[in-house]
Amino acid sequence: MSKILGIDLGTTNSAMAVVEGGKPEIVENKEGNRTTPSMVAVNKNGERLVGLLAKRQAVTNPDNTLFSIKRFIGRKFDDTEVQEDIKLSPYTVTKGDGGSIKVQMGDKEYTPQEISAMVLGKLKADAEDKLGENIEEAVITVPAYFDDAQRKATKEAGEIAGLKVRRVINEPTAAALAYGFNKKNDEQIAVYDLGGGTFDVSILEVSDDTIEVKATNGDTHLGGDDFDQVLINWILDEFKKSEGIDLSQDNLALQRVKEAAEKAKIELSTADQTEINQPFITTSDEGPKHLVLTLTRAKLEELVHDLVQKTLEPTTAALKDAGFDKGDIDEVILVGGMTRMPIIQKTVEEFFG
């Protein structure tokens, strides 16, 4: 019997795992990374790029690089939230048959399911390479608040990618299973999930072999990308102050600043300070200019303070909806790359006491 692939199809990044000896093990992609950007692009030569390759050229090819497609899956074009998201998308989103959504890439139009299937297709192919066997079946996770249409569309994306989707399960439930909480009895668990694009907090009740989502809340536009943006703005401001040049209009420079910001953010989860160093970032009449800045963890924490605090309101609301106090929570599970940031761990710890 071939292995079933477990897939976290995220707004910004996706990941996959298989069960080895009763334990879930992350499967690395072809690039050797544990996560794959949920991005698809078509370059000037008409080649399709998926994952990291798409991300690396996103700023210089904004019209034909699709990201955050999960925000559109299973939704209708006229939904208020969809209309808000379209305003933030550099790529073209149009209305399809029956009020559905189409996105444009190159000279073709696609459904969100077809784009998501390209991401899933890469995950499937990479897993097959890594494991040396065919993968035919998958379990895919979705946010707890996804409705029936969004779940069906996610399943359809899997099928387009050539996967038989055995189950679509809630992300917080999957997190609880991964940590073995299904073996516990009568516990209340909070799952605090701060990903690349979204923040979700769920309150779960675990009893004999069942995990029930009691309440869920969050902010669909709060995640690692926003933390990166705050840092990008700081870098651009500092460079403008010292050199008098605005890099925000220069797409090639901006792509480099964006990558440097994300790298610095990640490094500061383990280091106290880091150097942002991008030689030959631009040229002026005086000659080439280099971007060299030192960033401390303290400065980063000051910059992102408001964003971190912003996660507490939905957390309070979820507790209230579940009918629990902070003291009723037995365990907190931190999910998503952003929760590796020490300030976030500290804030959550202080909140739950």
Say whether pLDDT at 208 is over 90: no
In the predicted structure, residue 43 carries a pLDDT above the cut 80: yes
Buried b / exposed e over 247-276, threshold 16 CB at 10 Å, is beeeeebbbbbbbbbbebbebbbeeeebeb
Q: What is the pLDDT of residue 52?
A: 97
Q: Please identify which of the residues 193, 226, 228, 262 carries the catalytic annotation.
A: 193
182 pLDDT tier (thresholds 50, 70, 90): confident
- Give the confidence band of 193 by pLDDT, cuts at 50, 70, 90: very high
- Angle (deg, nearest 10), helices 312-322 and 342-352: 40
Phi, psi of 194 (to 5 degrees): -110, 105
Tell me, what's the pLDDT at 16? 98
- In the prediction, which pLDDT does 260 show? 97
Model confidence pLDDT, tens digit, residues 239-255? 999 999 999 989 899 99
Q: Check if 193 is active-site.
A: yes
Catalytic residue, from 55, 70, 102, 258: name it.
70
pLDDT-based confidence at 180, cuts 50/70/90?
A: confident
**Exposed e or buried b for every residue in 88-105, given b needs 16+ CB within 10 A?**
ebebebeebeeebbbbbb
Is 250 annotated as catalytic? Answer: no
pLDDT at 178: 87
Asked about 85 being catalytic, the answer comes back as no
Beta-carbon contacts of 287 under 8 Å, excluding residues fewer than 6 positions away, are: none
Residue 169, class by beta-carbon neighbours within 10 Å (0-12 exposed, 13-18 middle, 19+ buried)?
A: middle
Is 148 considered catalytic here?
no
pLDDT (0 to 100) of residue 23: 87
Domains and CATH numbers, the chain: 4-66+117-171 (3.30.420.40), 179-222+310-352 (3.30.420.40), 224-304 (3.90.640.10)
Q: State mean pLDDT over 134-158.
A: 97
Catalytic, out of 8, 85, 114, 156: 8
CB 119 within 8 A of CB 54: no
pLDDT of residue 313: 97
Q: Residue 80 above 80 pLDDT?
A: yes
pLDDT above 90 for 209: no
Report the largest interatomic distance among the alpha carbons of the chain, rounded to a whole angstrom: 71
pLDDT of residue 181 exceeding 80, the answer is no
Q: What are 115-125's pLDDT values in tens digits?
A: 999 999 999 99
Cα–Cα distance for residue pair 216/232, rounded to 1 Å: 31
Candidates 85, 114, 156, 171; catalytic one? 171
- Supply the pLDDT for residue 76: 97
Residue 291 confidence (pLDDT): 97
pLDDT over 90 (residue 57): yes
What tokens appear for 183 in the block? Answer: 């073996």
**What does the pLDDT read at residue 183?**
76
Q: pLDDT tens for residues 334-344?
A: 999 999 999 99
The pLDDT of residue 186 = 87
